[in-house]
Amino acid sequence: MLSGHDWQTALAAVAGATALVVIIATIPEETPDHRTDEPAANGDLPVDAALEAIGEPILVVHHGRVTVANAAARQLLGSHIVGEDARVAIRHPGAAEHVADGSSFPVDLVGLGTLDQRWQMRVSQLGPDSRLVHLSNQTGQYAAERMRVDFVANASHELRTPLASILGYVETLTDEAGEDPALRQRFLGVVFDEARRMERLVEDLMSLSRIEAEKFRPPRTEVDLAAVAREVRDSLLTTHGNRGADIAMDIADDLPRVPGDQGQLSQLLYNLIGNAMKYGRHGTPVTVTLTPRADQLSVVVADEGDGIAPEHLPRLTERFYRVDAGRSRSLGGTGLGLAIVKHVVERHRGRLDIASAVGVGTRVTVTLPAIRDRDAASAAPEPLS
């Protein structure tokens, strides 16, 4: 039987969550048996209830057998584990050894639960023959770390490709090709295009990091999205194969303003309309519709291009994800446009939906919270530059 002090040690061993400290403080120093479902007479929490309430798996192993398993542990390892040999219950060779040794350093486990899960196990000594086993789910941190590593690798690769091309052409220009005016002109054109590609990439990377840095600071200035949309349309008129004439705008008269960051919303529209122009067929319409919807405003950008197969749709907003990398690059794409759109929408507490049908076209809808009439007086208008 573990004493109140042992239980306090046990719970204190479970990674120092603040909530836990509060629970420990309410556990009596010495009671005959904490492991009861009844609340303690003095109103304190019984230890089992406290363990049960902890969201991460916790086991107590006594003489090599599992004597206590909280709800999270039973869910991960099975409801039958209480009473089982710890090696059978945990079913992981490295973990079983660790529990038997009672070594206190944390160990990372792969293969517990589902295949993609990563767990960290800590073992603490409760008494000569008792151990407390705490499993903490590291899957989220692991995935975030993987994404960060992949992102750095992808960004480096995307920058190195045009850089290698620039270096190659400059080297050739300093040799014999520099003598031939026509060849020199052509090579300088390539160098310029590749340098522009690097510039676009660096600009998009900087935008992404700026938007991410402001993620938890909702924008508060009052933005006239209709005016921003017209400005973006004007700036795109002669781009993407001169498709300006294909852009059709349908903007409701009674459009409310939105609390927003004008630069970021302009970038969102620029990327969406730009994509519709790039990936849509020449001569087919690119429609931009702005409509009020209750307390919201919806922006729809639709094209009649080749469309996107359904299996790609969930991944389009990942950084550097492209359906056809060659086509994207030849059209000047960085692979970051929709990732930027997603982050801008998140910062504005909005919603992004991408619907597409192969051979029919693509329709992207962004819904943003609007400023209601009664809010308007308190929001500061932002002048259009």
DSSP 380: P
Contacting range for ligand ADP; rule: CB under 6 A; set: 40-48, 103-111, 128-136, 317-325: 317-325
CB 380 within 8 A of CB 258: no
Q: What are phi and psi of 2, to 5 degrees?
A: -90, 140
| Strand 58-62 relative to strand 351-357, pairing | unpaired
Contacting range for ligand ADP; rule: CB under 6 A; set: 69-77, 272-280, 367-375, 376-384: 272-280
Q: Helices 337-347 and 181-213: crossing angle, nearest 10°?
A: 20
Contacting range for ligand ADP; rule: CB under 6 A; set: 10-18, 116-124, 210-218, 337-345: 337-345
Tell me the closest approach of the beta carbon of residue 276 to ligand ADP, in angstroms: 5
Pick 208 or 258: Cβ nearer ligand ADP: 208
Please report whether residue 222 would count as binding ligand ADP according to CB under 6 A. Answer: no
Specify the amino acid at residue 69.
Answer: A
Choosing from 8, 130, 207, 275, the residue that interacts with ligand ADP (CB under 6 A) is 275
Please report whether residue 298 would count as binding ligand ADP according to CB under 6 A. Answer: no
Nearest alpha carbon to residue 122 among 150, 139, 103, 140: 103
C-alpha distances in Å from residue 146, one per residue of 15, 115, 139, 149, 205? 24, 16, 10, 5, 18
Choosing from 333, 348, 350, 369, the residue that interacts with ligand ADP (CB under 6 A) is 333
Tell me the closest approach of the beta carbon of residue 306 to ligand ADP, in angstroms: 6
Contacting range for ligand ADP; rule: CB under 6 A; set: 49-57, 145-153, 227-235, 315-323: 315-323
Please report whether residue 266 would count as binding ligand ADP according to CB under 6 A. Answer: no
Please report whether residue 335 would count as binding ligand ADP according to CB under 6 A. Answer: yes
Tell me the closest approach of the beta carbon of residue 209 to ligand ADP, in angstroms: 16
Please give the torsion angle defined by the CA atoms of residues 275, 281, 283 and 286, in that order, rounded to the nearest 10 degrees.
-30
Nearest alpha carbon to residue 204 among 319, 349, 53: 319
Contact set with ligand ADP (CB under 6 A): 271, 275-276, 279, 303, 305, 308, 316, 322-324, 328, 333-339, 362
